[in-house]
Amino acid sequence: MSTLKQLKICIVTLVLTLLSNVAQAQITNDISHNEAFKALLAAKKNAEESNVLVNIAVVDAGANLKAFVRMDESYLGSIDVAIKKAKTARYFNIDTGKLGELTQPGGIIYNIELTNQGLVSFPGGIPIKNKDGKIIGAIGVSGGTIEQDRAIAIAGAKSIID
Amino acid sequence: MSTLKQLKICIVTLVLTLLSNVAQAQITNDISHNEAFKALLAAKKNAEESNVLVNIAVVDAGANLKAFVRMDESYLGSIDVAIKKAKTARYFNIDTGKLGELTQPGGIIYNIELTNQGLVSFPGGIPIKNKDGKIIGAIGVSGGTIEQDRAIAIAGAKSIID
Amino acid sequence: MSTLKQLKICIVTLVLTLLSNVAQAQITNDISHNEAFKALLAAKKNAEESNVLVNIAVVDAGANLKAFVRMDESYLGSIDVAIKKAKTARYFNIDTGKLGELTQPGGIIYNIELTNQGLVSFPGGIPIKNKDGKIIGAIGVSGGTIEQDRAIAIAGAKSIID
Amino acid sequence: MSTLKQLKICIVTLVLTLLSNVAQAQITNDISHNEAFKALLAAKKNAEESNVLVNIAVVDAGANLKAFVRMDESYLGSIDVAIKKAKTARYFNIDTGKLGELTQPGGIIYNIELTNQGLVSFPGGIPIKNKDGKIIGAIGVSGGTIEQDRAIAIAGAKSIID
């Protein structure tokens, strides 16, 4: 090995070692299953009041499924859509409808939906925040119009800070 | 076309017509989302009483996800296991533990777990029946020992007929 | 709708409402990227001292990839094995080698490897804990013998609490 | 067999034998893991100076993952996007943003993103070259705006020839 190469490796190792000396754990806030139920029920209540049949999914801070319900007679195809809306909202901390504005042909992140084993980029996915404004999970709703899905998801997310 | 061939076609057509005259839609018995919630809560209560942290999934008569919850601190890997247990129980109308007796090396349906995008063949998946004994869905539990998972799943399924 | 059914729904709703009244967020501990680098470098150092060429993956508390390195000349097939070892260790908070004792033919969770899009149930995946003993992620190592992989993974995980 | 056919086989065999006499292995230039770390750290430094939280992936000449880091608080969805950007840049030896110009509706390689288990065709993926201008790998960055991701990726790639 050349002296130059050895020197380079030495520098990289040094930088990494310095970095690891300042290593500290993160404290994250994660939705509990009781909160997930609360969001689910608030969303379901909103859907019932609007006479809409939906699937509702809640994911945690790590974008893993936490709670789910499919209302009777709602679309079978909405199971996966609701789960993917919730995951997408947490993957990018975004209202999924906002994402869709950027993914159209000519959009700056066209076809990003093909990543992460399938994203959903139309309305109905909303991040869930705690009272301090920290994102602790997300909710996804599918089965009504995109406006209805979004309103129901917001009702679910909002219930956590009420 | 030969006369014989024409005669054959005629008979086939006749039989099919007769058959379709007696054709009737099926009446299926399907779990409602309130029943799914009931099973979920009964299972969760049982798990809490046993101090076990589990994921619980309920699927409907079509083996589609109907309700789900992941208890706080339960295994992340149990999300998929619980859902697959419920699906497996409904796919073959079987206690998943019974299936496992047949899938071992040398078993009559060795490696059937590779079908249906992954089955689970150890205990924790139980069909859900209504009071008439008709299967209306299934429940899958993962997170405890296989005995605990099975007991919790049975508690959930039993709540529907109590 | 029958009065009995309405009563049932009412009770389920009541129970869920009571549950959601006690809803509280969880505080989780998650590995930072500096800690992930620290574990990666400690594992790599151990591998180099043992003259083993490995892939090393670190996942966070949500089982999502946090840091990765493939050492020169190490197996290409070990990229996925290392990542799946880390994920498996976090999915079930377990030394992956322990899992393997239970997944053999006749084992109590035979073929669980088919869930979660593929688990690895032989040694080389280890949960990473912080000084308080809380699991904050996991490390997976692949490329050497299973004993070497496991020793290297332990060296990586241990560096976080030293 | 006819004499003509025998003659043909004879010629084909001769040509193949001649060809194989001049057969030589390829010498490929491949990024080392120390170079991959160097690019990763240069990109990370650039991201920190720009106050952007990103995921950074480096792939080797074979488009296989070589090194990866997800900065704390960066998007979970960017893990897969960063890796796919790096792979895409190496698959076609192209700045991923350039690819996007050709994949729009009506474009000459419309929807190529659906191949290779998902490509990313917006900015943030850059081939990594050595001092001789040979491509030895690629870097993918995701988490900021597409302009930021691209600038960070370029900083990473550039560090190898500085």
Convert the pLDDT of each residue in A89-139 to its tens digit: 999 999 999 999 999 999 999 999 999 999 999 999 999 999 999 999 999
Give the lowest-confidence range in B62-76, C27-41, D13-27: D13-27
**ipTM field:** 0.86
DSSP per position, C18-73: HHHHT---EEEEE--HHHHHHHHHHHHHHHHHTT---EEEEEETTS-EEEEEE-TT
Nearest Cα to Cα of residue A140 among A102, A62, A88: A88
Q: What's the average model confidence in pLDDT over B1-28?
A: 73
What mean pLDDT, rounded, does chain B reach? 93
Inter-chain residue contact A91 with D75, CB threshold 8 Å: yes
B110 pLDDT exceeds 70?
yes
Q: What pLDDT shows up at residue A12?
A: 66
What mean pLDDT, rounded, does chain D reach? 93
B153 pLDDT exceeds 90?
yes
Inter-chain residue contact D103 with A114, CB threshold 8 Å: no
Q: Is A11 helix (H, G, I), strand (E, B) or coil?
A: helix
Conformation bin of residue C146: beta by default, left when phi > 0, alpha when psi is -120 to 50: alpha
Helices (H), chain A: 3-21, 33-49, 78-91, 96-102, 146-158
- Band (pLDDT 50/70/90 cuts) for residue A144 is very high
Give the lowest-confidence range in A19-23, A47-51, D12-16: A19-23
Domains and CATH numbers, chain C: 33-158 (3.30.450.150)
Which residues, 6 or more positions from C63, have their beta carbon under 8 angstroms from its beta carbon? A62, A64, B76, B77, C86, C87, C90, C91, C138
Which residue of C20, C41, C63 is in closest CB contact with A62? C63
Which residue of C88, C92, C105 is in closest CB contact with B104? C105
* Set of chain D residues whose Cβ sits within 8 Å of the Cβ of A63: 76-77
- Band (pLDDT 50/70/90 cuts) for residue C14 is low
| Smallest CA–CA distance from C91 into chain B, residue | B77
Convert the pLDDT of each residue in D14-71 to its tens digit: 777 666 666 677 778 999 999 999 999 999 999 999 999 999 999 999 999 999 999 9
Give the lowest-confidence range in A9-23, A123-137, B13-27: A9-23
| Smallest CA–CA distance from A87 into chain D, residue | D77
Inter-chain residue contact B34 with C119, CB threshold 8 Å: no
Inter-chain residue contact A70 with B62, CB threshold 8 Å: no
**What is the least distance, in Å, from the CA of C77 to any CA of chain B?**
21
Q: What pLDDT shows up at residue D162?
A: 87
Q: What pLDDT shows up at residue B124?
A: 98
Size of interface C-D (CB pairs under 8 A): 43
Show the tokens assigned to D154.
């370029």
* Set of chain A residues whose Cβ sits within 8 Å of the Cβ of D114: 114
Instruction: Give a three-class secondary structure readout of chain B.
Output: CCHHHHHHHHHHHHHHHHHHHCCCCCCCCCCCHHHHHHHHHHHHHHHHHCCCCCEEEEEECCCCEEEEEECCCCCCCHHHHHHHHHHHHHHCCCCHHHHHCCCCCCCCCCCHHHCCCCCCCCCCEEEEECCCCCEEEEEEEECCCHHHHHHHHHHHHHCCCC
Please report all neighbours of C, defined by 3+ CB atom pairs within 8 A. A, B, D
C20 pLDDT exceeds 60?
no
C3 pLDDT exceeds 70?
no
More confident residue, A25 or C19: A25
Question: How far is it between the farthest Cα atoms of chain D?
Answer: 77
- According to DSSP, residue A102 is labeled H
Q: What pLDDT shows up at residue A13?
A: 63
d(CA B54, CA D122): 41
C11 pLDDT exceeds 80?
no
Convert the pLDDT of each residue in C128-148 to its tens digit: 999 999 999 999 999 999 999
Q: What pLDDT shows up at residue D25?
A: 75
Convert the pLDDT of each residue in C58-111 to its tens digit: 999 999 999 999 999 999 999 999 999 999 999 999 999 999 999 999 999 999
**What is the least distance, in Å, from the CA of A34 to any CA of chain B?**
9
B8 pLDDT exceeds 90?
no
Q: What pLDDT shows up at residue C23?
A: 66
Q: What pLDDT shows up at residue D48?
A: 97
Evaluated on CA atoms B158, B162, C1, C7, the torsion sign reads negative
Q: What's the average model confidence in pLDDT over D80-108?
A: 96
Which residue of B66, B69, B79 is in closest CB contact with A64? B79
Do the bridges between strand A55-60 and strand C55-60 make them parallel or antiparallel, or are there none, so unpaired? unpaired
D2 pLDDT exceeds 80?
no
